[in-house]
């Protein structure tokens, strides 16, 4: 089935800024169907799908907690909707992402108010398997160079819009 006829999956992304203006990035250790990873391009900011009827800010906080255990974060701002397309996918059409052409994302800028030992990407939460095996703080303007190419334009747009929070 051509991707052109498929919908975008509603999704949120989270740029979590520490007190030094760096963002949390996590190392993705496995692909997830159409969400492939490539060697050397396996870092990303937390993101995840929106549940039916869920408030988007609540989604951002839920996804941040599920993927990193972080709950100590204050809202700073958000982007308009941004989209990216998945690369061609030849795997099972029963995969939960196979019915989508890509993701339609609203990104949230949050300020981390906790301590680094709160961050734990390896412990599963909400029956969701761990997606990341490492994390670090990175300069926002460098993150687009660390992600898979199909996400790069979105990350560049996020970096431009959230630049004021990186200072």
The residue with tokens 């909707």 is: 81
Within a domain: 25: yes
Residue 2 lies in a domain: no
Query: Of 87, 64, 91, 86, which is closest to residue 75 (Cα–Cα)?
Result: 64
Residue 114, domain member (yes or no):
yes
User: So what's the pLDDT on residue 163?
Assistant: 98
Nearest of 27, 55, 53, 52 to residue 42 by alpha carbon: 27
User: What's the CA gap between 46 and 121, in Å, rounded?
Assistant: 10
The token pair at 104 is 């339609």
**What's the confidence (pLDDT) of residue 33?**
79
Number of structural domains found in the chain: 1
Per-residue pLDDT tens, the chain, 167 aa: give them. Answer: 556 789 999 999 999 999 999 999 999 998 887 888 888 899 999 999 999 999 999 999 999 999 999 999 999 999 999 999 999 888 888 888 899 999 999 999 999 999 999 999 999 999 988 999 999 999 999 999 999 999 999 999 999 999 999 98
DSSP per-residue letters across 79-118: EEEEEEEPPP--S-TTSTTTT-SEEEEEEEEEEE-S-GGG
pLDDT at 61: 98
Q: CB 163: neighbour CB atoms within 10 A?
A: 12
CATH assignment of the domain containing 17: 3.90.79.10
Q: Is residue 3 part of a domain?
A: no
| In-domain check, residue 58 | yes
The answer to whether residue 51 is domain-embedded is yes
What pTM was estimated for this model as a whole? 0.94
Report if residue 126 sits inside a domain.
yes
Q: Which domain holds residue 153?
A: 8-165
pLDDT at 2: 58
């Amino acid at each position: 089935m051509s991707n052109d006829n498929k919908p975008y999956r509603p999704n949120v992304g989270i740029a979590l800024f520490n007190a030094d203006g760096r963002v949390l990035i996590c190392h993705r250790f496995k692909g997830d169907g159409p969400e492939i990873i490539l060697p050397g391009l396996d870092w990303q900011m937390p993101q995840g799908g929106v549940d039916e009827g869920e408030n988007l800010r609540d989604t951002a906080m839920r996804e941040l907690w599920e993927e990193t255990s972080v709950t100590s974060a204050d809202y700073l701002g958000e982007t308009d909707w941004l989209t990216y397309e998945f690369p061609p996918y030849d795997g099972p059409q029963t995969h939960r992402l196979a019915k989508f052409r890509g993701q339609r994302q609203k990104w949230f800028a949050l300020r981390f108010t906790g301590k680094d030992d709160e961050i734990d990407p390896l412990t599963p939460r909400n029956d969701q398997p761990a997606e990341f095996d490492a994390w670090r703080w990175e300069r926002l303007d460098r993150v687009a160079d660390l992600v898979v190419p199909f996400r790069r334009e979105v990350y560049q747009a996020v970096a431009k819009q959230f630049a004021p929070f990186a200072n």
